[in-house]
Structure 1
Amino acid sequence: MKFFVKYFAIILTMLTFVSMGAQTSYASENQAHSSFNEISDKNEAFYAGYFQVVGHGEGDSKSMALLAARSVAQARLVEIINGLQVERQTLVRNGKIKQDIINLKSHGVIRFASVCGEKYSPKSGEAEVCLRLTLRSGGLGDLVKGLVDDVK
């Protein structure tokens, strides 16, 4: 019975991702030159079986740059999975906008994400980290699919 409940929950989660529709893709200047492929659209991730995000960071040392890049990638995964809370405060005086503040918040826990690649450039001090969050369970069905894919 536990087996059925586990797979039912996974299927329900996947259907939720598909029904939520396409999400605007994340684009930045760094991604145009990224050596890793990002999969952040929920429909694309459903068919690929995973989300894959890329984080970019800079630091005084290799470890600090990689930590910054990994943190950005983790934040991207939380944003994709849990969404963003948007808070806007606008101050209007005499019919004119004096101040417009927009705060974006997202929080959550990412478990079982794996590093699918890291790159570091000692010249610029920039790092790039690719994280992958698999949607599939790793059960017997995935094993059989993997064997069939290898035969092709």
Structure 2
Amino acid sequence: MKRQFLAAAAMVAVSVFVFHPSPSFAVTMQPVLDDAEMSAVVAAAKQDMAARHLKGCIAIDDADGVNIFFEREAGAYTNCNGSALVKAKAAAEFQGATVDFMNQVNKQGQTHLLAVPDMAPLPGGYPLTVHNVVVGGLGVSTPDGDTDVLIVAKAAKALK
């Protein structure tokens, strides 16, 4: 009798968990940046940089701020790699253009942003979106930060 009760209880427990999953089993679907889209963004950034006769670094991070692409062009200036990488990470993680963070520090006096880990208040980082969902961040670093802002904004449009 005890075995039959335990078997019945086990079957009930299994049916509750298998046929009535808790909300913790829910899966959230969101778009991600695929290879073709990433290549289109990189090509657009390279084309714009070439048209402006600029050499630099290009970085792309996924939505979690993990680097998935990096390239340093031959003839790029010293340490453009570090700058491009932090710009891409900040744009992805904080889902905004890094020039806006720079303006918050410089024009609005929000110097506390300098203490936020992974925050990069530098011009040249831009969020990448698919269907209005941030799927990553683009960071471009050339000798001219103002031009970096224009390059990333234009390159990000390659996703649309």
TM over 0.5: no
Rg bigger for which structure?
2
TM-score (norm 2): 0.25
* TM-score, normalised by the number of residues in structure 1: 0.26
Between Structure 1 and Structure 2, which shows a larger proportion of helix residues? 2
Q: Which has the higher strand share?
A: 1
Greater RCO structure (CA 8 Å; 6+ sep): 2
